[in-house]
Amino acid sequence: MAEEKVQLRDMESGAKKRNASHPLNTYERVIQPCVAELVGTAFFVFVGCVSVIENVEGTGRLQPALAHGLAVAVLVACMAEVSGAHFNPPFTMAIYLCGGIQMNMVLPYIASQLIGGVLGAAMSKVMTKAENYTSAYGAAFTVVQSEEQLMPAIFGEVAMTCVVTTVVLMAAVNAKSKSPMAPFLIGCTVIVNILAGADISGTCLNPARALGPAVMMGYWKYHWVYWLGPLSGGLLATLLVRLLLGDRRLRVIFK
C-alpha cells in the first residue's frame, strides 16, 4: 500500500512537470475555450428549444425543466476543463467580477454564447415539424403579453438568475465551497427554477437562450426583459458573493 501511494505521488508529480514544461498554446488558451462556449451553448439551446417545441399535453413544465437542467449538468461536466462551461452571459460577467476569468476573454465568451444560441435555435428548427415550430414560436419566450405581467416577470428573472448564478459562483469559483458536484448542483437549480417560475416569466435566465429563438422567429415582444432580468440577477449574485458569502479572497469587506 505504501509503495502504491509513492508511485501515485510520483505519477502526479511527473504530470505536473509535463504540464509546466508544455504551457497552453494560443489555440488552447484563447480559441478552444470560445469554441467550447459556442458548441456548449448551441447544444444547450438546441435541447431546450426542442423540449419546448415538442412538449406534449400532459407533461407540462416538467419536460422542459428536465431537458434544460440535465443538458446544463452534462455540458458543464464535459466542458468545464476547457472553458469553464459558462454558456450564459450573466455567468461570464459574474465569474469575471469574481476573478474567475481574464477581462480579455469576456467579450469573446459572450459573443460565442450568443452565436451558439442562434445556431442552437436554428438546429431546433431543422429538427422539428414546421407547424409545431411555428405554433411554439420556435420556443421564444412568449409568457409576457401585457404591461401587467412585466414587473412579476422581471422580478422572477432577476431572482431566479440570482439563485442559479450564486450556485455557480459558490460551487465553481469560491475556493471555500468549491465542489466536484458543481454540474449536478447547477443542473438541479435550473430544474427547480423552471418548475417554479415557468408560468411567471418562462424562466429564461440566459440571454443567449432568449436570443436564438427570437432571431429565428423574428419575435421580439418584451425581449428586453430576458436581458435586463438575467443580467441584473447575475450582478446581484456577484454582490452577494463579493460582499457577504465569498471566502477571504473574494470578499471585499469583513476580511
| Whether residue 15 has pLDDT greater than 50 | no
| Whether residue 130 has pLDDT greater than 90 | yes
Residue 158 lies in a domain: yes
CATH of the domain at 134: 1.20.1080.10
State the cell numbers at 102.
481574464
The pLDDT confidence band at residue 55, using thresholds 50, 70 and 90, is confident
- How far apart are alpha carbons 40 and 34 in whole angstroms? 10
State the cell numbers at 235.
450582478
When divided into structural domains, the chain yields a total of: 1
Residue 22 lies in a domain: no
Average pLDDT, the chain: 91
Residue 17 lies in a domain: no
- Report, as an integer, the average pLDDT of 34-62: 89
- Report, as an integer, the average pLDDT of 240-254: 94
Measured on CA atoms in the order 166, 172, 173, 175, is the torsion positive or negative?
A: positive
Residue 254 lies in a domain: no
Count the alpha carbons within 13 Å of 195 in the hemisphere toward its beta carbon. Answer: 13
**Domain residue limits at 97:** 29-245
What single letter denotes the amino acid at residue 237? A
| Whether residue 179 has pLDDT greater than 50 | yes
State the cell numbers at 245.
458569502
Identify the residue with better confidence: 21 or 4: 21
